[in-house]
Amino acid sequence: MSLFLASAAGVALDAVFGEPKGWHPLVAFGQMAERIEQRFNQSGGGWRSHGVSAWCIAVLPITLVVGLLAQVPAFGWCVEIFALYFALGLKSLGEHAHAVVKALRLGDLPLARERVGYMVSRNTRELDATGVARAGTESVLENGSDAVFASLFWFLVAGAPGVVLYRLSNTLDAMWGYRTERFERFGWAAAKIDDLLNYIPARLVALTYALCGRTRQALHCWRTQAPLWDSPNAGPVMAAGAGALNVTLGGPAYYHGELHERPELGDGPQPRARDIERAMNRVWAGVLLWLLIVLGVELTLA
């Protein structure tokens, strides 16, 4: 089965059905990861080597099994498509974004704070309407990179085992990759591996956002502002995305009860509800662009 058809099929399944309503493999994986973390990080301050061992036990066996199943004749193509489908979060991201936009347009700030709280890890209880719009726009840009484009990238590079390896690693980073007393050492491996796996995709996403918006401004923001961000991968994505949308993102935000003085990204007015939608449109446009590029490469090589 061609790479384009498999990729398009996975994206189409996500666009039509979204995340499975009853049971999701990543939910089951998260529950298993919690038990592994409790076993290897009992004291809440496990060594880095414990985190490495836990990561390998959680990720590698599943990746190996999926890779073997993908090689089964007359069945492997189905494994490939559903591996991508389960890894993508495109429709889910759009649904979360729409809920925030709807609440803002209704003037229901408490509901908007609640809805955007489902998308971000920061404290949203004190945000005003602008703060909610900023958090929502940032989340769409960053989660678009992590949950959509990076999954698609690793599927294009390494098929089903590639996308599974990436998505499980990204999930562990979301669970263990915090600089808290409990995870400072134990979660080091999960955070570093996720940074490594996202390094190339994040820069391709930054370029994609630039091409789908104000290209020159986005590239300028990427070059001058991304190095100021504390995350080596989120910096390019957020800076280019803010520049492409012509809005200002970043600024102070509370995470886990602590104030983080983040630099401002982009060049333009403060975001509003419509900018969350505009960011989501950039993600959709970028996915279509990537699929067209894959199709073009296949036709050229055929």
How far, rounded to the nearest angstrom, does the alpha carbon of residue 161 sit from its chain's CA centroid?
18
Mean pLDDT, range 30-43, rounded to an integer: 90
Q: Please list the helix, strand and coil fractions of the chain in percent, rounded to the nearest 5, in that order.
A: 70, 5, 25
- Domain boundaries of the chain, sorted by first residue: 3-301
Pairing relationship of beta strands 264-266 and 258-260 according to DSSP bridges: unpaired
The pLDDT value given to residue 257: 67
The pLDDT value given to residue 246: 97
Question: Model confidence over 201-216: pLDDT tens digits?
Answer: 999 999 999 999 999 9
pLDDT, the chain, mean: 93
Question: Model confidence over 164-177: pLDDT tens digits?
Answer: 999 999 999 999 98
pLDDT of 300 higher than 90: yes
- Give residue for tokens 């649904």: 95
Structure-token pair, residue 34 = 């919690």
- φ, ψ at 43 (rounded to 5°): -80, -5
pLDDT of 59 higher than 90: yes
What is the DSSP code (8-state) at residue 250? Answer: E
Tell me the CB-side half-sphere exposure of residue 19, using CA atoms within 13 A: 18
pLDDT of 94 higher than 80: yes
Instruction: Give the DSSP H or E segment for 20.
Output: none
Question: Model confidence over 208-252: pLDDT tens digits?
Answer: 999 999 999 999 999 999 999 988 999 999 999 999 999 999 988
What is the DSSP code (8-state) at residue 256? Answer: T
Say which residues have a Cβ less than 8 Å from residue 188's Cβ, sequence separation at least 6: 48, 51
Mean pLDDT, range 123-128, rounded to an integer: 87
What's the predicted TM-score (pTM) here? 0.94
Answer whether 249's CB lies under 8 Å from 271's CB: yes
